[in-house]
Structure 1
Amino acid sequence: MDRSCVKCLKTMVIFLNFLCWLCGAFVVAFGEFQMMHSMFASLITTFWPIYPANTLVVTGTIVTCVCYLGVLGGLKENRCMLISFFILLFILMLVELAMASVFLVYSREIDTYFEKDLMQSLEIYRQSHPEGNKTIKDDFDAVQHLFRCCGVHGEADWKGNVPISCCTEDPCNTLSHTNWQEGCLLKLRNWSARNYLSTGAGVVTMFIIQFICLSITVPLFCHFSRHGLGYK
Structure 2
Amino acid sequence: MNHSCVNCLKTLVINLNFLCWLCGAFVVAFGEFQMMNSKYASLVTSFWPIFPANTVVVTGTIVTCVCYVGVLGGMKENRCMLISFFILMFILMLVELAMACVFLVYSREINTYFEKDLMQSLEIYRESSPEGNKTIKDDFDAVQHLFRCCGVHGVADWKGNVPISCCIKNPCNALIHNNWQEGCLLKLRNWFSRNYLSTGAGVVTMFIIQFVCLCITIPVFCHLMRRGLGYK
The bucket for the TM-score relative to the shorter chain is over 0.9
Residue number in structure 2 paired with 1:85? 85
- 1:123 counterpart residue number: 123
How many residue pairs align between the two structures?
Answer: 232
Counterpart for residue 32 of structure 2: 32
Q: Which amino acid aligns with 2:211?
A: F
Find the counterpart in structure 1 of residue 64 from structure 2: 64
| Per-residue Cα deviation, 1:96-149 (whole angstroms, up to 9, x for no partner) | 000000000100000000001100100000000000000000000000011010
Q: Which amino acid aligns with 2:103?
A: F
Aligned to 1:94: 94
Using the alignment, how far apart are the partners of 1:117 and 1:11 within structure 2?
Answer: 50
Cα distance in 1 for residues equivalent to 2:53 and 2:228: 45
Partner of 1:159: 159
Cα separation, 2, equivalents of 1:104 and 1:172 = 42
Equivalent AA in structure 1 for residue 85 of structure 2: F
Distance apart, 1:79 and its partner CA: 0.3
**1:132 paired residue number:** 132
CA distance in 1, matches of 2:98, 2:221: 27
Distance 1:9 1:171 in 2: 67
User: Who is 1:6 aligned against?
Assistant: 6
Structure 1 runs of 4+ aligned residues shifted over 6 Å read none
User: Cα gap change, 1:171/1:11 in structure 2, threshold over 3 Å: closer, same or farther?
Assistant: farther
8 Å contact from structure 2 (residues 77, 230) kept in 1: yes
| Aligned-partner SS, 2:162 | coil
Aligned residue type for 2:20: C
Identity over aligned residues, as a percent? 85
Give the TM-score of the pair, scaled to structure 2: 0.99
The whole-number CA distance in structure 1 between the counterparts of 2:174 and 2:160 is: 17
Question: Distance in 2 between the 1:96 and 1:185 partners?
Answer: 28
Deviation at 1:160, TM superposition (A): 1.0
Tell me which residue corresponds to 2:53. Answer: 53
Q: Could you tell me how far apart the structure 1 residues matched to 2:170 and 2:11 are? A: 58
CA RMSD of the aligned region, Å?
0.7
Inter-CA distance 185–129: structure 2 relative to 1 (3 Å threshold): same
Determine whether 1:225 maps to 2:221.
no
Task: Give the TM-score taking structure 1 as reference length.
Answer: 0.99
Structure 1 partner of 2:205 = 205
| C-alpha contact (below 8 Å) 2:171/2:177 kept by paired residues | no
Distance apart, 1:171 and its partner CA:
4.9
Kept after mapping to 1: 8 A contact 2:125/2:136: yes
Give 2:114's aligned amino acid: F
Q: Which stretches in structure 2 are left out of the alignment for 5+ residues?
A: none
Q: What SS does the corresponding residue of 1:181 show, helix, strand or coil?
A: coil
Per-residue CA deviation, residues 59-84 of structure 1 (Å, 9 max, x unaligned), is 00000000000000000000000000
